Structure 1
Amino acid sequence: MIKKNMAEDNINIKLTEENYMVENENGEMVPNYDLTMISFNDGDILKGRVVKIEKAEVLVDIGFKSEGVIPVSELSIRNSIKPEEVLNIDDVIEIMVLQKEDQDGRCILSKRRAEVEQNFDRVEKIFENNETIEGEAIECVKGGLIVDIGLRGFLPASLIDVRKTRELISYIGEKCVCKIIEVDRNRNNVVLSRKAIIEDERREQRKEVMDSMEVGQIRKGVITSIADFGAFVDADGVDGLVHISELSWNHVKHPSEVVEVNQEVDVEILDIDREKQRLSLGLKQTQKDPWVEKIKNYSNKDVVNGKSHKN
């Protein structure tokens, strides 16, 4: 566990002519180091005041013998950030100590890691309570997106949406409400799912719609995909299947002969599986049966000629 040092008390202390020198045990006047320097170790989280902003680094007064240094790479979880975009002179910020003294005697700090460490506490609580979290998609990486949730959350491409995912770059800048499905603090790893949120919402919407559905109703739908055995239809947000035998009154070798993806259709509800939230649908039932029209020209016991098309 990271120890938080109460450096905020030190940065507000001002040296005066009366307190900057003190008498030691030998009666000698020496600098008041207790007043001017704080005690801390690598890994501590301190507070400090921004005193200088440069292109490659930021200098912070933490009450130590010299200013601490935040390299630009340790400013934010977002890559390619400019110091002036996130900090101003005299800002009081929290930082983590990476090295109390490097080979040049500088104290190396990280604003990014302090924020990540503190946000992990919040993220773990959200995960434990099975709550949702919102963040902005900030970066495309192999296999998905990085989402800013106070730390770098990974949103796999397969968990972005219930439908086919758009080009990943098109999501950059969008706000995403996600469910946290994995947290590993030791590996600094948080995995998100936007798809889970959409599925939950669609499940509730489907239940409401299905409560209003009855066998025999005619509903509007859209063909979402085609298989050898039939066509899948989105009917008011509920998934349904039109079996190949229910596509047309005529013989159909393949569903693509009758329908195409994204085509709007009217379908009749043949059966409802409320547990699985699925429908069995018919397309031909919304059309006139050609055999009914043809037999109008005949009477019982009429003898007609015919030709066999299939043995």
Structure 2
Amino acid sequence: MNEFEDLLNSVSEVAPGDVVTAEVLTVDAGQANVAISGTGVEGVLTLRELTNDREADINELVKVGETLELLVLRQVVGKDTDTVTYLVSKKRLEARKAWDKLVGREDEVVTVKATRAVKGGLSVEFEGLRGFIPASMIDTRFTRNTERFVGQEFDAKIKEVDPAENRFILSRRDVVEETAAAARQEVFSKLTVGENVTGKVARITSFGAFIDLGGVDGLVHLTELSHERNVSPKSVVTVGDEVEVKVLAIDEEEGRVSLSLKATTPGPWDGVEQKLAAGDVIEGKVKRLTDFGAFVEVLPGIDGLVHISQISHKRVENPKDALTVGQDVTVKVLEVNAADERVSLSIKALEERPAQAEGEEKAEKRESRPRRPKRQEKRDFELPETQTGFSMADLFGDIEL
């Protein structure tokens, strides 16, 4: 008993919470035995008190003969041997130092590593200290798949530090937004309406495509994707494509940029005079029908008009009675007006005019001529000479009243 009391007295200078220096004596069975300097007692350093990585190999983290700075957690007295040892921790000492470094550093940006996905967000590590990033603070858009961040290192802003409550909250979203804002400002300062710029297709919607210009997403509206009408955005571009676009409008206050893809590509009307000329006979497809005629696609992006009067030699009351959408037809070019982007076509010019139709046409022309009012014949109502000079008495003298 006296020897045991002497042993306890010899180690009274070591107490839980002390920071000590220790030399690694052995490394075995997932733990390291250390000799606490200046005390004559030993300590036990487990893998759990060395790192948060449960899969780590302790032999790669500490070596025999190595000197470590450790935190004393508690005293342990052997049941059978009456030996006194101490449970020590390297991880918690690093965490204490990290807490000391964090106090008063709210709104600062630090580099953290995502260790695992937890309910409601991400668990991260900063200099041995465990922090938490809520799901709403991971990115600018709500992130459901937090697993994809595990293992990554990234910058995050410190939002809250409370050592007493072991509370350490960070936000990656704040850093992303600030970085994006700086990038947007730089991009807007370089953009000019009317210039051509290069970007990458970021995403596609039903109404167009968004192009990443290096920090700013500009919209190419559906009508500005292609010279062709009624095209699907997915048939024109693919996510990831690098494209050249023209800047149509800039609204820096709203963060909007309007772009055009078709403005950077030759239009169907460019050089149309070399492709079409009056008198040409070509094949086309009926694209749409109206009350006054049919529009026929004669070249990609170029629709010509077959007026109702040019559909047939026979009288046509409605183009739908003679043609259908999608029908292939042969037409003759009557006129090409590139300036106004108009082409006049005729179907009946390629058909032989029937004799009956010729007679009907003449009749139609006669009917269509405005009728002149009939001229009234000028008549003189002069009385014969034999009746001149008669008085009323001479005329009615024989009549008895």
Q: State whether TM-score is above 0.5.
A: yes
Match for residue 298 of structure 1? 337
Aligned to 1:179: 157
The percent identity for this pair of structures is: 31
Distance 2:253 2:261 in 1: 23
Equivalent in 78, 86, 90 of residue 61 of structure 2:
86
The 1:279–1:169 alpha-carbon spacing in structure 2 relative to 1, beyond 3 Å, is closer
In the alignment, the residues of structure 1 paired with residue 132 and residue 161 of structure 2 have an alpha-carbon distance, to the nearest angstrom, of 10
Q: Determine the C-alpha separation between the residues in 1 that align with 2:169 and 2:206.
A: 36
- Equivalent residue in structure 2 for 1:252, among 207, 227, 230: 230
CA displacement at 1:147 relative to structure 2: 3.8
Q: Could you tell me how far apart the structure 1 residues matched to 2:204 and 2:6 are?
A: 83
In the alignment, which residue of structure 1 is the partner of 2:196? Answer: 218
Distance in structure 1 (CA, Å) of the matches to 2:213 and 2:179: 16
1:53 aligned residue (26, 51, 60): 26
Q: State the aligned residue count.
A: 272
Q: Deviations over 1:43-69 (max 9, x none)?
A: x13213224122232233335563222
| Higher RCO (C-alpha 8 Å, min separation 6) | 1
Aligned residue identity for 1:86: L
Residue 108 of structure 2 is aligned to residue 69 of structure 1: no
Alpha-carbon distance in structure 2 between the residues aligned to 1:50 and 1:303: 94
Q: Residue type matched to 2:60 in 1?
A: E
CA distance in 2, matches of 1:247, 1:306: 31
Contact 1:145 1:157 in 2 (8 A): no
Post-superposition offset of 1:38: 0.4
Distance 2:190 2:209 in 1: 23
SS in 2 for 1:75: coil
Q: Against the structure 1 CA distance between its residues 257 and 84, is the aligned structure 2 distance closer, same or farther, given a 3 Å change threshold?
A: closer
- 2:188 maps to amino acid: M
Contact 2:27–2:63 (CA<8 Å) still a contact in 1? no
Name the aligned partner's letter for residue 114 of structure 1: L
**Secondary structure of residue in 2 paired with 1:73:** coil
Q: Which runs of 5+ in 1 are unaligned?
A: 1-29
Contact 2:117 2:150 in 1 (8 A): no
Cα distance in 1 for partners of 2:134, 2:76 equals 39
Matched, 1:98 2:73: yes
Whether the 8 Å contact between 1:232 and 1:240 is mirrored in structure 2 is yes
Task: Tell me the CA shift for residue 256 of structure 1.
Answer: 1.6
Larger Rg: 2
Question: 1:299 and 1:184, CA in 2 relative to 1: closer, same or farther beyond 3 A?
Answer: closer
SS in 2 for 1:114: helix
Determine which of 87, 96, 103 is the counterpart of 1:117: 96
How big is the alpha-carbon RMSD for the aligned residues of Structure 1 and Structure 2? 4.1
SS of residue matched to 1:67 = strand
TM-score calculated relative to the size of structure 1: 0.69
